[in-house]
Amino acid sequence: MTVFLGALMVIVAGLYVAAPFFRRDADADAPLSEPVAPAELLDRQKREAYAAIKEAEFDRQMGKLSDADFETLTEKYRLQALAAISGLEAKSESADRGAGRNPIRLAFCATCGHKLPTKANFCPACGRGIKADRELLRVQMGKALQDPIAQIG
- Residues forming contacts to Zn ion in the complex (CB under 5 A) are 109, 111-112, 114, 123, 125-126, 128
Comparing CB distances to Zn ion, the nearer of 74 and 111 is: 111
Please provide the distance, in angstroms rounded to a whole number, between the alpha carbons at the two ends of the chain. Answer: 88
Comparing CB distances to Zn ion, the nearer of 7 and 51 is: 51
Comparing CB distances to Zn ion, the nearer of 73 and 116 is: 116
Q: What is d(CA 8, CA 122) in angstroms, rounded to the nearest whole number?
A: 61
- Contact predicate 84/138, CB 8 Å: no
Q: What is the closest distance, in whole angstroms, from the C-beta atom of residue 55 to Zn ion in the complex?
A: 18
Q: What is the closest distance, in whole angstroms, from the C-beta atom of residue 91 to Zn ion in the complex?
A: 22
Q: What is the closest distance, in whole angstroms, from the C-beta atom of residue 12 to Zn ion in the complex?
A: 50
Comparing CB distances to Zn ion, the nearer of 105 and 128 is: 128
Q: What is d(CA 129, CA 111) in angstroms, rounded to the nearest whole number?
A: 10
Q: What is d(CA 7, CA 111) in angstroms, rounded to the nearest whole number?
A: 59
Cα angle value 66/78/124 (rounded, 5°): 105
Q: What is the closest distance, in whole angstroms, from the C-beta atom of residue 109 to Zn ion in the complex?
A: 3
